[in-house]
Amino acid sequence: MIDIHTNIPLKNYTTMRLGGPARFMAEVRSLAELTELCATARAQQLKIVVLGGGSNMVANDEGFNGLVIRIRLPGFEIVNDDLNTTIIKVGAGESWDETVKKTVDMRLTGMEALSAIPGTVGASPVQNIGAYGQEVSETISSVEALDLTTNSLVVLTNEDCQFTYRSSIFRESAKGRYIITSVTFTLSKNTPQPPFYDAVQTYFDAHSVSLFTPQTVRDAVVAIRSEKLPDPAVLPNCGSFFKNAIVEDWRLNEIKTKYPAIPSYAMADGRFKIPSGWLIETVGLKGQSFHGMKVHDKNALVLINESAQSYADLAAARDVIIGKVRDTFQIVMEQEPLELADLAN
């Protein structure tokens, strides 16, 4: 029997601590519960949206006039193990960081730089989470999901997911169509190799680390993140609130004429990534507060809910930041957290 609750404040389930009521909310712990619940919702013409850990999701003041499903599907299974790789299948409801820890304990390489990212495994492919030189798409071999158009389980290959920077089919062309039930990863038994992301290498140098293992990379990343990112349980936030800016080479060169020290990273497609935290800091907003929101004084990518009472406050603060960066650099930054209502089907 699935417990379905009514009129549940979404602010209690999102780490920004904002959002109006969900008309219905339920937790599912098995595929049978999930398919049954979705079929019932469809029969009653209810819109459906999935909520994992709520760390990369914001909800508006109106809430959601449908069914919010909290995925708690468990599982951690070794599918294949050979000389060079181990393939694991993980339930969508498992903690992302606990999963990373398990793979590191197994001395597997591929997820270690993604340590200490909040949320669930099922959320990881949606925005193709990435940090410190790794993206989850580099290790995902397939995604199993419930297709809401047919209420049947499907398996999507890495290519099917159409991964790009902080995006995938799940937040673009097929937004709201699939509910991810498990993710299969292929991880390496080789040790991590330099060059490492600048911040990680700086940590290694400062701590005289010369033995590179999944554990030493995880330790470095956890230490860096704990210094730069506030705990959402203490200070309500969504982690990085803006995607890094992507620009063409001519635009970067144009900006460099006025800001020669601007940091940038070459991408495979010939464009360049500019840290949005640098843009926000350069326009003078780091540590500033407005509309009840504060730009974190240690990491300008993070917005902290100090006293905001509504999504409207968050939106106003976001637009101030986007506007000032746009006016200074002619770059329009994009919000990273998903809007809950936009993912409904």
Domains, in order of start, for the chain: 4-72 (3.30.43.10), 76-188 (3.30.465.10), 198-228 (no CATH), 237-341 (3.90.78.10)
Lowest-confidence segment of 105-109, 178-182, 227-231 by average pLDDT: 227-231
What's the whole-number mean pLDDT along residues 200-216? 94
Tell me the pLDDT tens digit for each residue of 235-271: 999 989 999 999 999 999 999 999 999 999 888 889 9
Of the pLDDT bands very low, low, confident and very high (cuts 50, 70, 90), residue 329 is: very high
Query: What pLDDT is attached to residue 236?
Result: 95
Q: What pTM, to 2 d.p., does this model score? A: 0.89
Bigger pLDDT: 188 or 195? 188
**For the chain, percent of residues with pLDDT exceeding 90:** 83
**Is residue 125 pLDDT above 80, yes or no?**
yes
Q: In sequence order, what DSSP letters do the residues of 221-264 get, joined into one string?
A: HHHHHHHHS--TTTS-EEEE-BPPEEE-HHHHHHHHTT-TT---
Is residue 135 classed as helix, strand or coil in its secondary structure? strand
Structural tokens at position 12: 């209690």
What's the whole-number mean pLDDT along residues 163-186? 93
What's the whole-number mean pLDDT along residues 11-16? 94
H or E stretch including 25? strand 21-28
Of the pLDDT bands very low, low, confident and very high (cuts 50, 70, 90), residue 207 is: very high
Q: Which residues are catalytic?
A: 166, 240, 336
**Is residue 167 pLDDT above 80, yes or no?**
yes
What's the whole-number mean pLDDT along residues 337-345? 87
Distance CA 214, CA 108 (A): 7
Query: What pLDDT is attached to residue 341?
Result: 85
Give the residue among 287, 253, 286, 291 at the shortest CA–CA distance from 272.
Answer: 253
Query: What pLDDT is attached to residue 155?
Result: 98
Query: What pLDDT is attached to residue 318?
Result: 97
What's the whole-number mean pLDDT along residues 18-33? 95
**Is residue 1 pLDDT above 80, yes or no?**
no
β-bridge pairing 21-28 and 64-71: parallel
Query: What pLDDT is attached to residue 233?
Result: 87
Output the average pLDDT for the chain: 94
Contact 271, 248 (CB under 8 A): yes
